[in-house]
Amino acid sequence: MNVRGTVAGEVGVRTVSTSYGESDLAEVPLRLESVDERGDGTATGATDRLDDSRDDERDVTTVTLWNKWTESAELLEPGMELLVTNAAADEYRGERRYKTTGDSYVVVEPSFLVNVTAIRNWVECPRLYYLNKLSGVPLNYPVVKGTLVHEVFGDLLRGRDLEESIEARIEERALQLGLLGETPEAAAEDVRENAAAIESWLEQGRLTEDDSWRSEQLLISETFGIRGRADAVRRGAPVELKTGKNLKKEPRFKDKVQAACYALLLEERGGDVDTGTLLYTKNSALDRNEETGDLTPAKDFSMGNGLLKFVVRLRNEIAAMEMAGDVPTGYEGDARCEYCFEQDTCMVVSGRLDQESKAGQIGQALPEEELEYFERFYRAIEEERREVHREYAKLWEQDARERADDDRALIDLEFVEKRPLEGGRWELHTRREGGVTSKLREGDLVLASDGHPVRGNSELARIERLDDEIVLTADEPVEVTRLDVYPSELTTDRLLVALHDVLLKGDERRKDVLFGRQDPAFDRPAEMFVENNDAQDEAVRTAVGARDLALIHGPPGTGKTYTIARTVRAMVERGERVLLSAFTNRAVDNALEAVLEQLDGVVDADRIVRVGSKSGVREDMEPYRLERAGDPAERVAELQNAQIVAATTATCGSRIMKEQSFDAALVDEAAQLTEPGTFAAVNLADRFVLVGDHEQLPPVVRAENDLTESLFERLVERYPDAGVMLDRQYRMNQRIQAFASREFYDGQLRPATPDVAGRTLEDLEGVSREVLPSDLRDSVAFVDVEGDDGRYTDDEEAARIAEIVRAYEDAGLERSEIGVIAPFRAQVSTISNHVPTDVAVDTVDRFQGSSQEVIVVSFTATGTLEGPIFEDYRRINVALTRPKRALVLVGDPRALESDPVYARMLEWARR
Ligand SMILES: Nc1ncnc2c1ncn2[C@@H]1O[C@H](COP(=O)(O)OP(=O)(O)OP(=O)(O)O)[C@@H](O)[C@H]1O
């Protein structure tokens, strides 16, 4: 049976004498959560929860872990989750207890999914694992070559011709190769050398037997808490490719560990894996006269239980360390520092961050405040990572219906067809019922499965088209009936690298300013940049003249984008190279569009480059998008010659962008970025300008910690003189803007011109206000709806909103000019069912940065306000500042009046 629960107290480890001699045991007090009687070593079915009582009311029993599992027991702290598979039960003084058996696995924090490569790094040296996490994988030729060889391997397995595959894969990586100064010919030769061993080995297999292969496969184990992508699976057993040489008979230990992880993952899917294969691509008979040793590329080994258990214990060490937020020292394993390629880096990092390490320290530690900052943010980022892991756990903890209701999955799809693509990949078509919503968007990577994302046949796929018919591309032809959000750790990984880079590689003066040791300096030019708007003009002068940084605070509609574009032009005219960045692709494209308008004729179009994926970049910006495929020299020239490079902050953390440097970085939507998220862009430039509004949406993070405050906000408070607030808005009429101005901007926000102030619906062609019902004629209206008792939905409000939308349509407005904002996704769906599809209905988050002629807000609260409806007031600020000419608030006044801000809002709306 499988026993699972929470550690409820201190764990004692001792040695006892048994009939087999001395044995170690650990007694773990465990608050039981579930006991799965059917437990067969895997968690293929949902386990029975013992009961629904609260954590602290459940029974505590003792689970005894025997022998080597005591090593995992020593990692346990009260509060940690523990799973014991194949446990045996016995009665002791009337109490039911559990213990490990010879077939048991003990898994610490099973919902924390440890990556297979992390386990491989860890067995080499725990410190190496940590260093890799901190500094990321750099752009270097061995890494790129290794990736190419793996891709070609996958292609060969899918039946592609070798030469065709090499040519295609090298062409796809032109930009990376170009940055590394490699020619396609030289790269092809290197890949060919490695691929020859693969091909001849595959040939042998084909001659002797009918192999069943599967190329690269994403595997997740909910029992062992491991995930990874196996290079290949052959007759149910893992095959790992290594682009290196190994002349010993046996595979290297760390390679075996890696294959053993995949064996565990495959066993969970019902396999019985007794061998693993390592394929060393540099072992080839051609070298026979130079080398002695075992030259066969493929080395099989038998997958003993001892190894599998050892691997789980390693995995437990990582999970426990991550949960505790500890930093490994290298003493955990038997690392031999003197042979390690990373010894110098390791010593520098330990020295600078004042960490204990087996390799020792060199250099002086960072100042106290920087060390404190590093620790605080390291912890915060790791907390965020754990939240991502919790998202993974939901893949199996929630059932299909719950995930669909949570917008995390599209289920019950109808598989239509699979079409083979060039290179052995697949295009998969599946259908959903009209109107079903989810968080999934075109361009997203998703888990596409034939029923279950972890237990079924499932693949990572990309959404190419998302209509009622959904089109995906994937490596394998899965008969897709379900799509799940893929919780990516990429963002978290990049935050950590950005944190590392700013502190350990950052410019000293920059750090002096960031840590308050020196004030930012300015050489503001006397020149006038914007004639009709003083604040914008000052903002441009401040940005252009900033020696370190400048902050532009732009409330809604105040011309942030315009100011950014004007600043970029001024910088470019001074001969500077500029990075244009923002949190979302949409904002990057908006800013780029404005820059293009400003720069008409100032810079050649081919010196402006947009870096991003095809699905992320807006269609009209496609001509500027940097193609990654093609000829390395050409591709790299396009990037290097560009005077303006536009990319999201996430892309700024990519290996390609990290190789670039700029005179200045302009970051839009900066108030929505975490501090390390901002550094990803800012690290690439000598000076930076942050543009945003901390009275609108805060950073999007899962955990509640230091990541929720943006660098923009912190710096605005720290250096008010480095900031300029744009105070004239070009969007809302006087009546609409009044409340937001007073409540959120100290009454400083004003309409930019009399035209803006006096905007009405009647200015729009064919619109007549007279046709509207009297309660909607004012440009701000409140519609009183008692509503129903739903917590997250309100049918009555939805029905009333449908009537309101119809009234505006009757008055002559286009549907596309009307937007509806609701606080919860559930209410968004409810309203969507009532109004025509071309009316935009969404949550505030999706509306930030856009505007509409008419906005209707649904408050979805009846009687009392249990919590602030829009979570925090910044959200309501965004909602109220989207419309240009008409705003309708729909809700129950008694609920709204119970909160002072909403009460004032009500008073204003009813006036
Ligand atoms: N100095 C100016 N003179 C004339 N029009 C301007 C000026 N600045 C901005 N505008 C106009 O005001 C409108 C809003 O400007 P912009 O899109 O730059 O605002 P924003 O602050 O980026 O908006 P958001 O709050 O949605 O991010 C645009 O139509 C723009 O052309």
Give the lowest-confidence range in 47-51, 117-121, 743-747: 47-51
Which residues touch 57 (CB under 8 Å, ≥6 apart)?
A: none
Q: Are 146 and 138 in contact (CB under 8 A)?
A: no
Q: Tokens representing 879?
A: 């909602």
How many other CB atoms are found less than 10 A from the CB of residue 532?
9
| CA 607 vs CA 577, 726, 883: distances in Å | 10, 30, 36
DSSP assignments along 464-513, one per residue: EEESSEEEEEESS----SEEEE----HHHHHHHHHHHIIIIIS-HHHHHH
Q: Are 535 and 727 in contact (CB under 8 A)?
A: yes
- What CATH architecture does domain 734-910 belong to? 3-Layer(aba) Sandwich (3.40)
Ligand 1 pocket: which of 595, 730, 853 to mutate (most atoms <8 Å of CB)? 730
What confidence score (pLDDT) does residue 38 get?
64
* Cα distance between residue 697 and residue 848, in whole Å: 8
Confidence class of residue 44 from pLDDT cuts 50, 70 and 90? very low
CATH class of 398-487: mainly beta
Question: CB of 178 closer than 6 A to ligand 1?
Answer: no
Residues of the chain with CATH 2.40.50.140: 3-33+58-108
Give the lowest-confidence range in 54-58, 372-376, 432-436: 54-58
Q: For residue 806, how far is its CA from the centre of ligand 1 (angstroms)?
A: 30
Residues of the chain with CATH 2.40.30.270: 398-487
Q: Check whether 56 has a pLDDT greater than 70.
A: no
Nearest to 849 by CA among 593, 597, 610: 593
Summarised one tens digit per residue, pLDDT across range 743-794 is 999 999 999 999 999 999 999 999 988 899 999 999 999 999 887 777 778 8
Which residues touch 507 (CB under 8 Å, ≥6 apart)?
A: 686
Q: Distance from CA of residue 212 to its chain's centroid?
A: 34
Nearest to 24 by CA among 62, 68, 61: 68
Q: Check whether 538 has a pLDDT greater than 60.
A: yes
User: Using H for helix, E for strand and C for coil, what is the string for 742-767?
Assistant: HHHCCCCCEECCHHHHCCCHHHCCCC
Q: Check whether 588 has a pLDDT greater than 70.
A: yes
Q: Are 153 and 160 in contact (CB under 8 A)?
A: no
What confidence score (pLDDT) does residue 207 get?
47
In this prediction, residues 286-300 reach a mean pLDDT of 67
Nearest to 87 by CA among 78, 73, 97: 97
Residues of the chain with CATH 3.40.50.300: 517-726, 734-910
Residue 536 CA, closest ligand 1 atom number: 1
Q: For residue 692, how far is its CA from the centre of ligand 1 (angstroms)?
A: 13
Options 3.30.70.1560, 1.10.760.10, 2.40.50.140, 3.40.50.970; which CATH number does 3-33+58-108 get?
2.40.50.140
Q: Check whether 411 has a pLDDT greater than 90.
A: yes
Question: CB of 554 closer than 6 A to ligand 1?
Answer: yes
Burial code of 639-673, b = ≥16 C-beta within 10 A, e = fewer? beebbbbbbbbbbbbbebbbbbebbbbbbbbbbbb
Confidence class of residue 127 from pLDDT cuts 50, 70 and 90? very high
Question: CB of 176 closer than 6 A to ligand 1?
Answer: no
Question: CB of 881 closer than 6 A to ligand 1?
Answer: no
Nearest to 862 by CA among 818, 806, 800: 800
Q: Check whether 46 has a pLDDT greater than 50.
A: no
**Residue of minimum CA distance from atom 12 in ligand 1:** 730
Summarised one tens digit per residue, pLDDT across range 16-41 is 988 888 899 999 999 999 898 765 54
Q: Check whether 508 has a pLDDT greater than 90.
A: yes
**Residue of minimum CA distance from atom 16 in ligand 1:** 559
Task: Give the chain's radius of gyration (CA, Å).
Answer: 30
**Residue of minimum CA distance from atom 18 in ligand 1:** 559
In this prediction, residues 570-595 reach a mean pLDDT of 96
Summarised one tens digit per residue, pLDDT across range 870-893 is 668 999 999 999 999 999 999 989
Q: Are 840 and 865 in contact (CB under 8 A)?
A: no
User: C-alpha dihedral over 327, 330, 334, 336, to 10 degrees?
Assistant: 160
Q: For residue 272, how far is its CA from the centre of ligand 1 (angstroms)?
A: 63
Residue 730 CA, closest ligand 1 atom number: 12
Q: Distance from CA of residue 706 to its chain's centroid?
A: 18
Q: Are 763 and 886 in contact (CB under 8 A)?
A: no
Largest CA distance in the chain: 96
In this prediction, residues 270-288 reach a mean pLDDT of 78
Ligand 1 pocket: which of 537, 561, 755 to mutate (most atoms <8 Å of CB)? 561
**Residue of minimum CA distance from atom 3 in ligand 1:** 532
Question: CB of 555 closer than 6 A to ligand 1?
Answer: no
Q: For residue 190, how far is its CA from the centre of ligand 1 (angstroms)?
A: 53
**What SS3 class is residue 93?**
coil
Nearest to 849 by CA among 590, 648, 562, 616: 590
DSSP assignments along 248-310, one per residue: SSSPPHHHHHHHHHHHHHHHHTT----EEEEEETT--GGGTTT--S---SEEEEE--HHHHHH
CATH class of 517-726: alpha beta
